[in-house]
Amino acid sequence: MTELKNDRFLRALLRQPVDRTPIWMMRQAGRYLPEYRATRQQAGSFMDLCKNAELACEVTLQPLRRYPMDAAILFSDILTIPDALGLGLYFEEGEGPRFHKTVRSEADLAALNSIRAEDDLGYVMNAVRTIRRELNGSVPLIGFTGSPWTLATYMVEGRSSKDFARVKTMAYDQPELMHALLSLLADAVADYLCAQVDAGAQALQIFDTWGGALSAGAYREYSLKYMQRIISRLPTEADGRRVPVIVFTKGGGQWLNAIADCGAQAVGIDWTTDIGTARSLVGERVALQGNMDPMMLFASPQRIREEVGTILAGFGHGSGHVFNLGHGITPGVNPDHVTAFVDAVQELSPQYHAS
């Protein structure tokens, strides 16, 4: 077992004392970096990049060479499971992910492949193993997945959606079919995350990107319940360390109390939720991750620094905060503004951890 030189991120997720607030960014390996764009072009396509362990490792490490992040996140995509199930994932330039097939009937559900993560998504595990080797204990590696509800939205709609008409119609008019699909996905996701931990992931994040599109009751029935089911099946330790789980529901600020009881060690919040209010709601149950508006990175470095200070003060003293954006970084951001962001967190946060 390689000794972890920087465990600040893992300690904060477990609400243990740290010297400063740890930081990483959702989509930190991405199109805002010119070196990422060059590697993406070398790979030929996005999925070819995901499936090439050496190139996936390269883009995972690129932001760590520029910025002193406290964690790396596996470079992959949330839609790898639906692709393995046989729906045929592809990407249209400027249009986002698409599927050749959809799941809109019992027959469609029955036609899905039976998958085992280590075999059918082995390229992801190869990437995890390669990244862990190359990180050599410098920072922890985060594995991740999409939530069952989020995966189902793409599988039923066949693409991104603005109104989720088809998937919501299934949920409200054919609840048995929707629960059957979500149950299948929960089992696949649990297997997938367990395989990532076996391969070397040291923390896990469940991206519930579209949970916030549901009503309060529907969120609990179709999203939160299945994330709880997944978390209950995950290993709590690996290599003698806890493996913390982060749940991030975009637009889920109104359900923080319920999310805090789902079994995860941390809850990600988007920029629409005040972090001080969130902390008062969750108390000592979970750590919080977030939550600067990604668009703030288009502001001046001084304005970015001010916003970082506001969020740090909003959370207040003590551990249990992982600084992040409230969603993924966007492609047009100047990399120098990310430097200002990371530097601000490093310089301003120690005062909140002084004993």
Annotated binding site for substrate: 27-31, 77, 154, 209, 327
Q: Enter the tokens of residue 161.
A: 């959606």
Distance CA 269, CA 339 (A): 22
Q: Enter the tokens of residue 57.
A: 């490792």
Pairing of β 141-146 and β 96-99 = unpaired
Q: Enter the tokens of residue 262.
A: 């789902």
For residue 335, the SS3 value is helix
Q: Residue 63: which of 127, 135, 133 has the closest Cα?
A: 135
The sign of the dihedral angle between the CA atoms of 239, 25, 246, 260 is positive
User: Is there a catalytic annotation at residue 159?
Assistant: no
Q: Enter the tokens of residue 269.
A: 């919040």
User: Is there a catalytic annotation at residue 40?
Assistant: yes
- Are 140 and 72 in contact by the 8 Å Cβ rule? The answer is yes
Residue of 7, 70, 77, 120 marked active site = 77
- Are 246 and 265 in contact by the 8 Å Cβ rule? The answer is yes
Residue of 11, 15, 40, 104 marked active site = 40
User: Is there a catalytic annotation at residue 154?
Assistant: yes
User: Is there a catalytic annotation at residue 305?
Assistant: no
Residue of 32, 154, 192, 219 marked active site = 154
User: Is there a catalytic annotation at residue 352?
Assistant: no
Q: Residue 166: which of 176, 175, 153 has the closest Cα?
A: 153
- Residues serving a catalytic function are 27, 31, 40, 77, 154
